[in-house]
Structure 1
Amino acid sequence: MLSISTKKSKTALVVSLFILSIVVFGCNNSQSGGKKRQLISFKAYNGINYSEVSRRMRNGLSFNEYGYQLEPQWKLKFVSDDSISIFSPTKNAFINFPLTRGYDSIFNAARSWLKVRKITKDSITMEILIQKGDSLDVKGTKVFMRFFADNYVKNVLHTDTSILRRPSHQDTLFIKALSAKANADYTKAFAARQPAKITSRSPLVSVSQRTTRPDILNNFDNSDDYLDPTYDIVIKKAYKDFYFSFTMYIDDKGRTYYGYPLVGLDDEEAKADYIHTSKAIMESYLKLYLNIKPGSTLGIIHSSMVSVHVEGKAGSPKSEVRKSKRF
């Protein structure tokens, strides 16, 4: 997912310029004996406010089979051929960034490499490029960003950006098909865009969901919050002190099934014991004391997976739990 950085990194700029020199050198070599291509210019489009209305893969979908969603987020305005203004959701303001141009319609801005496929005063289509170490994959990711000029949206299409950004009918059909498979077999679960919710129904148990703060270190990407929803669960007055980390499948009815341990265990006997005990904790404490709401995507409820870190603190447990399980 592309994101916006409000910090200027000197190191990143040096790396970007180095990569650009590689791109330019490669283009010049490929055109030896022919006419040189000119640097892309945005002069004719300066001052036009563009908003991203879709971000899709080559197959036209904004979702993949794992539930990851490509979200249109950007708003931008070309200021000059070496400057671009991009809206920062974290700052709720437009921020000016240096723009580094390359041949073959490639440019770098806001820590992202992009290739312009088509540009007019009404719309832009760009492809996301990937930086790999000290080189740039100019073949592209086959992920395309589509922008419309704000005036075009308002005065020609007579709509607004929020409507244009909605998932397509094709996305809905894709999610329905994935959901049907996942609900028939929970092991085919995929990430829910609205993750499964776990809450406590007992004063003996506290539940908190981990959240990611978007910042420069994670490239302003908090998609892990729905791709891998993670919960910390603390059980007071447990039968003994313990700490287990594992995944759980949550089906479309809110029922839970054990997934796999989240710790590395090379010894098969130790692994079997870990699974046996943590599964028993899930079947007793978690099923007794938790409310679970299944996840959904585009309003469609389906099986998904969560990660849990369960801590038990010894004390005098409720007789109900003590009698229900002996570990």
Structure 2
Amino acid sequence: MNSTSTIKTGGLGLLLILLLFNLVNCKQNNAAEHAGKKERISFKPVFDVNYIEVARRLDNGLSFNEDGYQLEPSWQIKFVSDDSVSIYSPAKKASINFPVARGTDSIFYAAKVFFKVKKITRDSMLLQLIEAKEDSIDLRGARLYMTFYAEKFIKNVIRKDTAVLKAPTWRDTVFVKKLIDAAEKDYSKAFFARRPAVVSSKSSSVKVETHHVTGNIFETKPTDNDYMYPTFNISIKHAKEDFYYSFSVTVDSQGGLHYEKSMIPGNNTYYISHSKAVLDNYLKRYLNVKPGSTLGMLHPSTIYFHVKGEKGA
């Protein structure tokens, strides 16, 4: 999946990126000084303007990709100075100040992400995410765009609720319907459900725990999103034997379970056949499954099981 830009955020990887970024800055700043071509961007004209993100889309105008991953507008930012930006975190319900590293050609780095300013006024702002991998950054830009409106502009000019502005478009709906049609015909094309399947037990001998992933508003890697890989830890008492299996299944639009594959590397025939038996003999009998949906439409999606059976429990 490459719907969003990804960057190495830890240790040596980040250090190399910042060193490279600073090196590019220095070289291009010298060029600006001597040739008068490029200068570092300044946010002085928009200091203290509170921007609310209203759209996050790919370059084709869609907020969904072919895997069902939804690009959701969630940022709220304010440039305090040329070297500091305040970003609101819904999780912490507070604004956090981050240092800003400004480059040439309207590029800047903040909150572990590289951006290119495509447009900025006191009413609106359009940012393009710049992809960074390991020790290099792609100065040609990425395929993801973030649209912001100033809070005052929304209140005094647009006069619409931000939830309305952030809602998926009719083009997103048409695109998702096409994904659903394809997945209904071929379960191998099942995709992420924005509202993932819900699994519960209908037996006192079977316990179901949902494994939650805590996301981070400042991360751009989509794997941090809980709905993309809905995972369930299941324990079964009084099983015929002790076992532990991990595998994925497709949940169809009616809540039916269809074995996908083992989560253990290699083609282990014994493991696959026995994990399929666990699905057929236990999970299909003792689980209630509500299918996943996107934009209110039910569709096939993938979920993940870690199943432990205890004979003597």
Task: Please give the alpha-carbon distance, in whole angstroms, between the structure 2 residues aligned to 1:218 and 1:41.
Answer: 25
The alignment-based identity, stated in percent, is: 45
Among 302, 306, 310, the alignment partner of 1:305 is: 302
- The equivalent residue for 1:89 is 90
Query: What SS is found at the alignment partner of 1:108?
Result: strand
- Contact map agreement 1:201 1:290 (CA 8 A) in 2: yes
1:29 to partner: Cα distance? 8.0
1:284 to partner: Cα distance? 1.2
1:309 to partner: Cα distance? 0.7
Task: Please give the alpha-carbon distance, in whole angstroms, between the structure 2 residues aligned to 1:274 and 1:253.
Answer: 27
- The equivalent residue for 2:186 is 185
User: How many equivalent pairs are there?
Assistant: 308
Q: Which runs of 5 or more residues in structure 1 are unaligned?
A: 4-8, 317-327
- The equivalent residue for 1:283 is 280
1:70 to partner: Cα distance? 0.9
CA RMSD between the two structures: 2.6
- The equivalent residue for 1:265 is 266
Q: Which runs of 5 or more residues in structure 2 are unaligned?
A: none
Which one-letter code corresponds to 2:114 in the other structure? Answer: W
User: Which deviations, in whole Å up to 9, do the C-alpha atoms of 1:62-96 show, x marking residues without a partner?
Assistant: 11111111111110111111111110122211111
- Contact map agreement 1:22 1:135 (CA 8 A) in 2: no
- The equivalent residue for 1:231 is 232
Distance 1:220 1:60, change over 3 A: closer
Distance 1:25 1:218, change over 3 A: closer
Distance 1:217 1:53, change over 3 A: closer
- Contact map agreement 2:38 2:105 (CA 8 A) in 1: yes
Distance 1:106 1:218, change over 3 A: closer
Larger Cα Rg: Structure 1 or Structure 2? 1
- The equivalent residue for 1:126 is 127
- Contact map agreement 1:16 1:108 (CA 8 A) in 2: no
Task: Please give the alpha-carbon distance, in whole angstroms, between the structure 2 residues aligned to 1:29 and 1:260.
Answer: 56
1:143 aligns with 2:144: yes
Give 1:1-327 correspondences, 5 Å limit. 15=16, 17-25=18-26, 27=28, 34-214=35-215, 223-265=224-266, 271-315=268-312
Query: TM-score, with normalisation over the residues of structure 1?
Result: 0.87
Which one-letter code corresponds to 1:288 in the other structure? Answer: R
User: Which deviations, in whole Å up to 9, do the C-alpha atoms of 1:84-117 show, x marking residues without a partner?
Assistant: 1110122211111111111000011111110000
1:24 to partner: Cα distance? 2.0
Query: TM-score, with normalisation over the residues of structure 2?
Result: 0.91
Which one-letter code corresponds to 1:38 in the other structure? Answer: E
Distance 1:114 1:171, change over 3 A: same
Task: Please give the alpha-carbon distance, in whole angstroms, between the structure 2 residues aligned to 1:289 and 1:54.
Answer: 42
